[in-house]
Amino acid sequence: MMIQIAPSILAADFANLATDIQKVEKSGADLLHVDVMDGHFVPNISIGAPVVAAIQKVTKLPLDVHLMIANPGKFLDSFIQAGANIITVHAEADCHLHRLIQQIKSAGVRAGISLNPSTSLTVLEEVLPDIDMVLIMSVNPGFGGQSFIASSLNKITRLKNMIEERHLQVDIEVDGGINSQTAPQVIKAGANILVAGSAVYGAPDISRAIRELRGS
């Protein structure tokens, strides 16, 4: 399966966002990962829909919006209007996942479900055929620059098996602590979309960092 790299703008310079986005676009990124944090679901605040709308004007990269917010249903329309191409909600943030997925997909946007490190894959059981992507958090969400949690590898492998056994086409994205050491491990485990913040924006040569993460 083709490996896609999604740089996270959480590690970019927010005062020079357009320049930093164009840097990763020119360097071969496949998607742009946008971390939305509300200070409730996670202990940090980042950016909201107006920033997504502004970003959409300065890049052709598909916007992969990772909502780390409570009550995501209340805000889906604003992120859809802002031009998100993929919207991922956390399974822990709402007890009506099916409804959220329907709301996202009926707008023609790809739908993802994210799981915290402590959340079991079993919550996906009923919705797996309805979604386009599962985002496995390999750190506890809220901050960039954290260390990869090794047990995520086994979780990715079990998810990959679950998807294959059911003959489904669902992308597996992994987010948190991805660098040149952990990337080959998550790819081997079955992930096909790799989010990387610090490993991309902290690299002296961004094109090379992206190529290394992709393994090409």
- Does 145 belong to an annotated binding site? yes
Q: What are phi and psi of 184, to 5 degrees?
A: -60, -30
Q: Provide the strand spans (E) within the chain.
A: 4-7, 32-37, 63-68, 86-90, 110-115, 133-137, 171-175, 193-196
Q: What residue 155 binds from Fe ion, ligand 5RP, none (CB within 5 to 8 A, per partner kind)?
A: none
SS3 string, 191-204, reads CCEEEECHHHHCCC
Q: Can 64 be counted among the known catalytic residues?
A: no
Q: Which residues contact 62 (CB under 8 A, 6 or more apart)?
A: 30, 31, 32, 85, 86
Adjacent-strand bridge partners of 107: none
Catalytic residue among 20, 35, 94, 132: 35
Applying CB under 5 A, among 66, 90, 155, 160 the residue interacting with Fe ion is: 66
141 binds ligand 5RP (CB under 6 A): yes
- Does 35 belong to an annotated binding site? yes
Closest separation in Å from C-beta 104 to ligand 5RP: 18
Applying CB under 6 A, among 172, 177, 186, 189 the residue interacting with ligand 5RP is: 177
Alpha helices in 1-96 (DSSP H): 17-26, 49-56, 76-81
Q: Can 35 be counted among the known catalytic residues?
A: yes
Stretch binding ligand 5RP (CB under 6 A), from 13-21, 84-92, 115-123, 192-200: 192-200
* Residues of each annotated binding site for substrate: 8, 66, 142-145, 175-177, 197-198
* Residues of each annotated binding site for a divalent metal cation: 33, 35, 66, 175
